[in-house]
Amino acid sequence: MGRKVLVTGGAGFIGSNFVRMLVDDPTVDLVRILDKLTYAGSLDNLEDVLGNPKVEFVRGDIANYDDAHPAMEGIDWVVNFAAESHVDRSLRNPAEFVRTNIEGVRVLLEIARETKPERFLQISTDEVYGSIAEGCVDETAQLRPSSPYSASKASADMLCNAYLTTFGVPVIIARSANNYGPYQYPEKLIPRFVSLALKGEKLPLYGDGRNIRDWLYVEDNCRALLLILKKGKVGEIYNIGAGELHQNIEIARKILDILGKPEDMITFVADRPGHDRRYCVNWDKIRALGWEPQAKFEEKFRETVLWYARREQWLAKKSEEAEKFYRGQ
Ligand code: NAD
Ligand code: DAU
């Protein structure tokens, strides 16, 4: 008998890529998706897998016991991607982040005490460590979240540890770097800039554009998560990085270059309040499990930009919604 997996937030960016990987895994029998379908989630992201007999889709809220309990019944592995994920939105509406990212996790952990999955993988983020001026941090580093988003994710990690220690819920935490790849909502840097460039609009870099992120290809991240489910140790935390540290201005220039657009489309705008300067995690621990990033950055970055460019209409529709947020509507 193969594993039965619950993927919360499976209609979002990373979740939908992960579902695709599970569908192709012969050791997995059932992929149940629980997703509220917020502005960030879409069944379009799952179009190619929804007809697969292994896949079940349930629309529901992780913070609602009555939605989440039936979804967790009979499940071996819970993988919790569901979250409010956008830092800029957390500055305007922190309450929603507390509700989904903390209360939602509490509800899932409570249910796990009853339904007893074999593993509960909480998808956290490298942002919980806060800005890292130099070097890279391992899993023992102090948590210093800067935004309501990262504070809500750090709080969820704390709850997970408490439920492990006190109630024996078999939690594992994964803290990934910035993902790039297909199916990301165009409020985030890369798809937003591709979309603006295609529309001939300026690309707004926050502050001096020199903030640094470590760019991890989404399939590499998903492979790491699957490996953690199979070989990771309950109670452990695993950082997942790529060693591809790039300034935002480099990312913007690369996008313009790939699309054949001029560099003067870049503009500098007011900085994000509390903007973390740099992230960098050390991932020796997951390397020891047998994982390495495989993506060649230049190649996958180009492929990603062109993936969005080929879907110009889809992108324009999503970007219309996303830009309303930036215009304060
Ligand atoms: P996303 O915003 O693209 O997707 C989030 C999904 O969760 C959406 O499908 C949404 O409908 C769903 N959702 C939101 N609230 C829900 C609720 N209350 N109940 C059920 N479903 C709900 O996010 P993403 O970028 O795919 O990120 C997924 C996870 O990975 C998040 O937990 C995020 O914190 C974490 N993460 C993301 C990155 C990144 O670079 N994108 C990096 C590290 C960690
Ligand atoms: O590090 C992991 C995190 O990466 C995840 O936990 C988050 O869910 C995910 O959204 C992402 O957070 P960031 O804040 O790093 O991603 P974002 O795409 O919003 O921004 C990337 C960088 O680009 C950041 O330094 C802010 C900057 N930026 C972003 C946008 C949207 C701009 O300069 N202009 C923009 O218009």
Pocket flag, ligand 1, residue 81 (CB < 6 Å): yes
Pocket flag, ligand 1, residue 181 (CB < 6 Å): no
DSSP secondary structure, 253-276, as one string: HHHHHHHT--GGGEEEEPPPTT--
Q: How many CB atoms lie within 10 A of CB 162?
A: 14
Q: How confident is the model at residue 318 (pLDDT cuts 50, 70, 90)?
A: very high
* 122 touches 164 (CB < 8 A): no
Q: How confident is the model at residue 43 (pLDDT cuts 50, 70, 90)?
A: very high
Q: Which atom of ligand 2 is nearest to the CA of 153?
A: 6
Identify which of 85, 225, 238 to mutate to test ligand 1's pocket (most ligand atoms within 8 A of the CB).
85
Please say if the pLDDT value at position 329 is more than 90.
no
The residue contributing the CA closest to ligand 2 atom 4 is 178
Pocket flag, ligand 2, residue 248 (CB < 6 Å): yes
Instruction: Report, as an integer, the average pLDDT of 131-155.
Output: 98
Q: How confident is the model at residue 1 (pLDDT cuts 50, 70, 90)?
A: confident
Q: Mind telling me the catalytic residues? A: 126-127, 149
* Both tokens assigned to 90: 């957390």
Pocket flag, ligand 1, residue 32 (CB < 6 Å): no
With a pLDDT cut of 90, the percent of the chain lying above it is 99
Predicted local distance difference test score (pLDDT) of residue 67 = 98
Give the Å distance between the CA of 201 and the centre of ligand 1: 27
Predicted local distance difference test score (pLDDT) of residue 301 = 98
Pocket flag, ligand 1, residue 42 (CB < 6 Å): no
- Considering every ligand atom shown, identify the ligand nearest to the alpha carbon of residue 35 and give its number: 1
pTM above 0.85, yes or no: yes
- Considering every ligand atom shown, identify the ligand nearest to the alpha carbon of residue 34 and give its number: 1
Give the Å distance between the CA of 86 and the centre of ligand 2: 7
Pocket flag, ligand 2, residue 4 (CB < 6 Å): no
Q: How confident is the model at residue 136 (pLDDT cuts 50, 70, 90)?
A: very high
Predicted local distance difference test score (pLDDT) of residue 38 = 98
Helix axes 248-259, 297-310, angle to 10 degrees: 60
How far apart, in whole angstroms, are the C-alpha atoms of residue 316 and residue 329? Answer: 17
Comparing CA positions, the residue from 176, 263, 190, 180 lying closest to residue 224 is 176
- Considering every ligand atom shown, identify the ligand nearest to the alpha carbon of residue 209 and give its number: 2
With a pLDDT cut of 70, the percent of the chain lying above it is 100
List alpha helices for 99-247, DSSP H: 104-115, 148-167, 189-199, 218-231
- Segment 268-316, tens digit of pLDDT: 999 999 999 999 999 999 999 999 999 999 999 999 999 999 998 899 9
Helix axes 297-310, 312-326, angle to 10 degrees: 90
* Both tokens assigned to 329: 């509507």
* 56 touches 32 (CB < 8 A): yes
Q: How confident is the model at residue 225 (pLDDT cuts 50, 70, 90)?
A: very high
Pocket flag, ligand 1, residue 153 (CB < 6 Å): yes
Q: Which atom of ligand 2 is nearest to the CA of 279?
A: 1
Q: What angle do CA 184, 189, 191 make, to 5 degrees?
A: 45
Give the Å distance between the CA of 188 and the centre of ligand 2: 6
Identify which of 6, 17, 37, 38 to mutate to test ligand 1's pocket (most ligand atoms within 8 A of the CB).
38
- The SS3 call for residue 163 is helix
How far apart, in whole angstroms, are the C-alpha atoms of residue 221 and residue 276? Answer: 22
Q: Is the dihedral of CA 261, 264, 265, 270 positive or negative?
A: positive
Q: Which atom of ligand 1 is nearest to the CA of 9?
A: 7
The residue contributing the CA closest to ligand 1 atom 34 is 85
Q: What are phi and psi of 178, to 5 degrees?
A: -60, 120
Q: Which residues of 298-312 are buried (b: 16+ CB within 10 A; e: fewer)?
A: eebbeebbebbbebe
Domains of the chain: 3-179+215-240 (3.40.50.720), 186-213+244-276+294-321 (3.90.25.10)
